[in-house]
Structure 1
Amino acid sequence: MKIGEASSASGISPRMIRHYEKIGLMPAAIRRDSGYRDYDEDDVHTLRFIGHARDLGFPTDEIAQLLALWRDRARSSADVKTLALARAAELERKARQLDEMREALVALATQCHGDSRPDCPILGGLEAI
């Protein structure tokens, strides 16, 4: 199948498929005589795996590790679990940071009258930060 079909089947944009090939997450697709990339069901399965890992917040280097573990039938599930728990902890850290940012913005917005006056505690708060 051509890249557009692989994209539709996997949910990964053609641009990202080409990017994943360029950085080595995906092996370079076989080229048809016409020069078009040719993907098979295994490629689509790999693209879906990459997409799911991306959706769970894994960065590219960790996706590469997960792909290697996925392909290694002699892998230890402990290695996979370690990666997943580390990613979960990082997401928890980011969630706390986002919550602190939201609370700071709400506090600044609460101090603002939001009327036609030029005085704005939000801008003053950003200036002080």
Structure 2
Amino acid sequence: MVLNSPIGIGALARATGAKLETIRWYERVGMLPAPDRTSGNFRSYGKVHLDRLSFIRRARGLGFSLDDVRQLLRLADQGQDTCIEREQVARAYLAEIERRVADLEALKRELHGFVEADSQGAPTPCRILQALSARQEAA
């Protein structure tokens, strides 16, 4: 969405897929800057709100915790002076993502095996719970 003029909270919610209360909550906890207010005291959002909320939603959708998102936003707000810290944070996130990918690949192999055995009518014990439990323990 190209934002050429201020929008209301409903339009921001539709543009990002966020719920109204979620947007208000992000404002209350300081993850989203307080918007300007119209003469009728309605919230008036701009491009910075759209971009930031889109980032938050995407990061959360990828599994980043609220603390992780806060840290990334804090680093972004600090500007260019934190290259070393940003690299350290990026390396930590990369390691976490690689761990998650490995867990998902292992689960994928288990599920493929289950589906193959099931489609052939082979009586095998259901290992889905075991597979998910093993992934949880590794986490």
TM-score, normalization: structure 1? 0.70
Structure 1: 5+ residue runs without aligned partners?
Answer: none
SS of the residue 2:64 aligns to: coil
Of 82, 92, 97, 1:76 maps to 82
How many residues were matched structurally? Answer: 123
CA pair 109-55 structure 1, distance change in 2 beyond 3 A = closer
Q: Supply the distance in 2 between the matched residues of 1:42 and 1:25 (Cα, whole angstroms).
A: 12
The offset of 1:19, in angstroms, is 3.5
Q: Supply the distance in 2 between the matched residues of 1:42 and 1:8 (Cα, whole angstroms).
A: 16
Q: Supply the distance in 2 between the matched residues of 1:125 and 1:56 (Cα, whole angstroms).
A: 29
Structure 2: 5+ residue runs without aligned partners?
Answer: 1-6, 131-139
Q: Matched residues, percent identical? A: 28
Partner of 1:94: 100
Is residue 2:53 matched to residue 1:42? Answer: no
> Per-residue displacement from partner, 1:8-35 (whole Å, max 9, x unpaired)?
55x3424342332243311333443534
Q: Supply the distance in 2 between the matched residues of 1:109 and 1:103 (Cα, whole angstroms).
A: 10
Q: Supply the distance in 1 between the matched residues of 2:93 and 2:104 (Cα, whole angstroms).
A: 16
Q: Supply the distance in 2 between the matched residues of 1:3 and 1:90 (Cα, whole angstroms).
A: 34
Partner of 2:117: 111
TM-score, normalization: structure 2? 0.66
Does the CA contact (< 8 Å) of 1:12 and 1:47 recur in 2? no
The offset of 1:82, in angstroms, is 1.3
Q: Supply the distance in 1 between the matched residues of 2:85 and 2:59 (Cα, whole angstroms).
A: 15
Give the aligned CA root-mean-square deviation in angstroms: 3.0
